[in-house]
Amino acid sequence: MADSDIIFLMGNPAGDAGSERNVLFLDDMEWRHSEFSRCVDDLPGFRIWRVHTAEAAVELLMSRGFVQVFLDHDLSDDDVMCVPGSATRVPTGMDVVDHILGMEHPPSQVVIHSCNGPAALEMERRLETHSARIAIRRIPFPFLMQSLRSTRP
């Protein structure tokens, strides 16, 4: 996958012409929400849904279809760089991945922007098992922002 294909928000995603496509962004850090918003809020044809918790992400995934999901793993200051599978203070992005695995019609693309490398790798590994063949990109948040900024007109 080329860098220009990392984020289909910049390209021409599948979907009906003229229809608004839902994109979900999960992260517990408000400054990351602000940075992401600066890069994508004015893109036509997309509705960006922003949530701070795994529970809120799962609720949205159950209530509507999403073409793309951006996931962080560690969703609490107490859980920063937690080991995949260890006990955490709050549910993590892995819990959202586990929900996606049970979806008959999952998002067509998932971007894992966690800086927790081992957790991001495990999230990717699990998503690769879904029969829908989800397009997965693992890119730490700073590089995600760099990519989004560089592909803007």
What pLDDT does residue 149 have?
Answer: 84
Average pLDDT, the chain: 87
Q: How much is the pLDDT for 153? A: 62
For 67-103, letters b (16+ CB in 10 Å) and e give bbbbbbbbbeeebeebebeeebebbbbbbbbebbeee
Is residue 143 situated within a structural domain? Answer: no
The answer as to whether 96 is a domain residue is: yes
Residues 132 and 105: beta-carbon distance below 8 Å: yes
Cβ burial of 8 (10 Å; 0-12, 13-18, 19+) is: buried
pLDDT category, 25, cuts 50, 70, 90? very high
The reported pTM is 0.89
pLDDT at 18: 56
Residue of higher predicted confidence among 31 and 40: 31
Would 41 be classed as within a structural domain? yes
Reported confidence tier of residue 7, pLDDT bands at 50, 70, 90? low
Q: What is the number of domains present in the chain? A: 1
Q: What range defines the domain where residue 35 resides?
A: 24-107
Q: Supply the pLDDT for residue 46.
A: 87
